């Protein structure tokens, strides 16, 4: 490679579970940062977002042949790991000399199995990847030095081997994201299709201890926040240079430091940033911030997700959520009271779960009254703290099904088919209740929910269940009228038919 700059192709897995696509088309933020790191190391970099393009593995093969990379990198959460392996195999089939790299949470913890089972994978980046990627580009160009790269797992003398762990980057603002490598026309938020959608990071990490979650484990229960001014300036850069109007925070817990978070809100208000923010946070942080919640709304926060996870205190304790049931209700009420869209999820399918307990959860979820509620299958990731105690109940090792939609674990008193059916029924019934109460929402929420319900019917795995319920003979005329309004709602925002199909 001495005659030219090394080429790095970053490829997302062409995986779909029928959930995320209903809300929008999301850019691969981790690749934006990795691309910046690889470019700083002297590489020519291309991002190929096969997931958002709905590309096939055949199309990925053509992209590899066209770009002729020296390094092909991909990313693996548990559900995308099988497709990530195929991408590496495709690269090796094109040229056995190309170096293949896999990263993200599943690869971080299951590196040994991946390297043992799959000769198509040369390297696994464990944990935070930017510094490791920089050094790997240099090592591939030199053809040696892999044993000196912290955070890298590879084969040493033919056997899986991991170098020392990589220390976390102390200053997140020192990282340089390659925003210019994104195909911005691809990304938009379906309820607001007139504006481009970005995903940005103001912080990394989570100090919670939820037993089913991957993030607190990935970040080793640490948390780092960016400088408030530099983050707000980045939002403005995305707005002014790339036309971004909606930004979702990738942060697990952006509000961990109240002082830092309030400073971000104040800056957005003072500077008139005007970017709509979608975010996730914790129940206890919402309650802590009750007195500054007007700032959330004034700054542009329009959508807040909190993980309620269960309406049962014993289940919350099993999940190690460190919250109380009544606190979750109060947090949702607070979000609603300030006009923001409230969203939460409920994790179902514990060993004790029954049809009756799931239906009770649905009724309690209606009482919680979030605008959006989703019912997810408890999924014991192979590396999660909760997994050893549930391993005997795992019914499939097909990682493509580890997507929170399809159950992979059998409760003691339900079949897998019954659990799958009840999960679909739960979300269908929850949103059917929303149909019946749309007229109780303020006008801006009603308009938003009409769009969301239409998207769920037309673009998500829930469509069949929603259609079945909507066709019920006993449906009140008022609900029938609302459904007609939902079906006729124009949410295209002027986007082309081919673009809507692609996303």
Residue 211 located in a structural domain: yes
Which one of 282, 313, 344 terminates a domain?
Answer: 344
Question: Mean per-residue pLDDT for 252-277?
Answer: 95
* Three-state DSSP class for residue 160: strand
pLDDT for the residue numbered 391: 78
Tell me: do 27 and 139 sit in the same domain. Answer: yes
- Band of residue 8 on the pLDDT scale cut at 50, 70, 90: very high
Top-confidence range, 14-23, 269-278, 312-321: 269-278
Which of 50-64, 187-201, 361-375, 444-458 is predicted least confidently?
A: 444-458
Query: Is residue 214 pLDDT above 60, yes or no?
Result: no
Q: What percent of the chain has pLDDT over 90?
A: 58
pLDDT for the residue numbered 57: 97
- Band of residue 285 on the pLDDT scale cut at 50, 70, 90: very high
Q: Which residue has the higher pLDDT, 440 or 120?
A: 120
Tell me: do 193 and 133 sit in the same domain. Answer: no
pLDDT tens column, 290-345: 999 999 999 999 999 998 755 565 555 554 544 566 788 999 999 999 999 999 98
Rounded-to-integer distance, Cα 350 and Cα 314, Å: 11
pLDDT for the residue numbered 422: 92
Rounded-to-integer distance, Cα 143 and Cα 166, Å: 21
Tell me: do 50 and 128 sit in the same domain. Answer: yes
| Domain count along the chain | 2
The CA dihedral of 444, 294, 254, 252, to the nearest 10 degrees, is -40
User: How many other C-beta atoms are found inside a 10 Å radius of the C-beta of residue 381?
Assistant: 21
pLDDT for the residue numbered 345: 87
Query: Is residue 492 pLDDT above 50, yes or no?
Result: no
pLDDT for the residue numbered 480: 57
Q: Which domain holds residue 304?
A: 187-344
Residue 330 located in a structural domain: yes
314 bridge partner residues: none
Tell me: do 214 and 141 sit in the same domain. Answer: no
User: How many other C-beta atoms are found inside a 10 Å radius of the C-beta of residue 476?
Assistant: 11
Tell me: do 19 and 130 sit in the same domain. Answer: yes
* Three-state DSSP class for residue 487: helix
Tell me: do 223 and 308 sit in the same domain. Answer: yes
Q: What percent of the chain has pLDDT over 70?
A: 82
Q: Model's pTM, two decimal places?
A: 0.88
Query: Is residue 220 pLDDT above 90, yes or no?
Result: no
Residue 368 located in a structural domain: no
Which one of 309, 344, 379 terminates a domain?
Answer: 344
Q: Is 67 exposed, middle or buried (0-12, 13-18, 19+ CB in 10 A)?
A: middle
Residues with Cβ within 8 Å of residue 54, at least 6 apart in sequence: 14, 16, 501, 502, 503
pLDDT for the residue numbered 468: 60
Residue that has been written with the tokens 């002297």 in this structure:
42
Q: Which residue has the higher pLDDT, 212 or 462?
A: 462
Angle at 288 between CA 282 and CA 289, to 5 degrees: 95
Question: If we measure between CA atoms, which residue out of 422, 426, 492 comes closest to residue 455?
Answer: 492
Tell me: do 141 and 194 sit in the same domain. Answer: no
Query: Is residue 501 pLDDT above 50, yes or no?
Result: no
9 bridge partner residues: 46, 72
Residue 234 located in a structural domain: yes
Residue 170 located in a structural domain: no
Residue 81 located in a structural domain: yes
* Three-state DSSP class for residue 193: strand
Would you list the DSSP string of 346-403? EEE--TT--HHHHHHHHHHHHHH--SEEEEEE----TTSTTSGGGGGGB----GGG-S
Residue 57 located in a structural domain: yes
Which of 76-85, 254-263, 274-283, 441-450 is predicted least confidently?
A: 441-450
Query: What is the H or E stretch that residue 240 is in?
Result: helix 228-242
Which one of 344, 371, 403 terminates a domain?
Answer: 344
Tell me: do 88 and 227 sit in the same domain. Answer: no
Query: Is residue 17 pLDDT above 80, yes or no?
Result: no
Query: What is the H or E stretch that residue 272 is in?
Result: none
pLDDT for the residue numbered 382: 79
pLDDT for the residue numbered 189: 87
Angle between helix 325-337 and 355-368 (nearest 10):
40
The CATH number of whichever domain residue 326 belongs to comes to: 3.20.20.70
Mean pLDDT across the chain: 85
Tell me: do 235 and 305 sit in the same domain. Answer: yes
Q: Extract the tokens encoding 197.
A: 């959608």
Half-sphere exposure of 67 (CA within 13 A, CB side): 25
Tell me: do 195 and 338 sit in the same domain. Answer: yes
- Band of residue 54 on the pLDDT scale cut at 50, 70, 90: very high
The CATH number of whichever domain residue 113 belongs to comes to: 3.40.50.2300
- Band of residue 453 on the pLDDT scale cut at 50, 70, 90: confident
124 bridge partner residues: 102, 153
CA distances (Å), origin 77, targets 131, 190, 215, 399, 425: 20, 24, 11, 9, 27
Residue 70 located in a structural domain: yes
- Band of residue 80 on the pLDDT scale cut at 50, 70, 90: very high
Rounded-to-integer distance, Cα 502 and Cα 24, Å: 11
Tell me: do 207 and 95 sit in the same domain. Answer: no
- Largest Cα–Cα separation, the chain: 73
Tell me: do 338 and 258 sit in the same domain. Answer: yes
In eight-state DSSP terms, residue 104 is S
CA distances (Å), origin 1, targets 38, 71, 94: 15, 11, 17
Question: If we measure between CA atoms, which residue out of 214, 110, 217 comes closest to residue 162?
Answer: 110
Question: If we measure between CA atoms, which residue out of 125, 126, 131 comes closest to residue 174?
Answer: 131
């Amino acid at each position: 490679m001495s005659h030219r700059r090394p080429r790095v192709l970053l490829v997302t897995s062409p995986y779909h579970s029928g959930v995320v696509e209903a809300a929008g088309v999301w850019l691969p933020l981790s690749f934006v940062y990795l691309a910046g790191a690889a470019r700083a190391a002297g590489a020519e970099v291309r991002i190929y977002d096969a997931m958002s393009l709905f590309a096939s593995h055949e199309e990925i093969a053509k992209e590899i042949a066209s770009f002729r990379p020296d390094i092909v990198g991909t990313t693996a959460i548990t559900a995308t790991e099988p497709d990530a392996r195929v991408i590496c195999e495709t690269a090796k089939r094109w040229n056995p000399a190309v170096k293949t790299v896999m990263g993200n949470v599943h690869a971080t913890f299951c590196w040994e199995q991946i390297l043992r089972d799959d000769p198509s994978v040369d390297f696994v980046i464990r944990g935070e990847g930017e510094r490791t990627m920089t050094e790997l580009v240099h090592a591939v160009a030199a053809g040696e030095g892999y044993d000196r790269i912290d955070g890298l797992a590879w084969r040493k003398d033919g056997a899986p081997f991991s170098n020392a762990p990589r220390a976390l980057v102390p200053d997140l603002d020192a990282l340089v994201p390659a925003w210019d490598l994104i195909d911005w026309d691809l990304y938009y938020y379906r309820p607001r299709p007139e504006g481009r959608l970005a995903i940005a990071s103001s912080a990394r990490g989570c100090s919670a201890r939820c037993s089913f979650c991957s993030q607190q484990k990935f970040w080793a229960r640490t948390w780092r926040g960016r400088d408030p001014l530099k983050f707000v300036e980045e939002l403005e850069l995305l707005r002014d240079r790339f036309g971004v109007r909606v930004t979702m925070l990738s942060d697990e817990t952006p509000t961990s430091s109240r002082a830092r978070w309030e400073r971000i809100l104040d800056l957005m208000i003072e500077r008139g940033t005007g970017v709509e923010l979608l975010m996730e946070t914790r129940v206890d942080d919402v309650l802590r911030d009750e007195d500054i919640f007007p700032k959330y709304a004034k700054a542009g926060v329009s959508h807040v997700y909190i993980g309620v996870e269960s309406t049962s205190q014993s289940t919350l304790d099993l999940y190690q959520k460190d919250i109380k049931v009544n606190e979750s209700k109060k947090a949702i009420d607070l979000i609603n009271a300030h006009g923001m869209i409230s969203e939460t999820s409920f994790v179902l399918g514990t060993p004790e779960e029954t049809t009756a307990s799931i239906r009770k959860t649905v009724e309690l979820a209606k009482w919680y009254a979030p605008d959006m509620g989703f019912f997810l299958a408890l999924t014991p990731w192979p590396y999660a703290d909760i997994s050893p105690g549930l391993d005997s109940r795992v019914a499939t090792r097909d990682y493509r099904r580890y997507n929170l939609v399809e159950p992979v674990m059998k409760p003691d008193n339900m079949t897998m088919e019954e659990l799958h059916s009840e999960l679909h029924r739960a979300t269908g019934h929850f949103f059917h209740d929303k149909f019946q109460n749309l007229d109780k929402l303020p006008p801006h929420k009603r308009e938003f929910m009409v769009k969301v319900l239409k998207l769920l019917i037309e673009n998500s795995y829930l469509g069949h269940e929603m259609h079945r319920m909507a066709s019920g003979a006993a449906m009140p005329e008022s609900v029938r009228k609302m459904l007609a309004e939902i079906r006729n709602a124009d949410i295209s925002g002027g986007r082309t038919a081919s673009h809507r199909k692609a996303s």
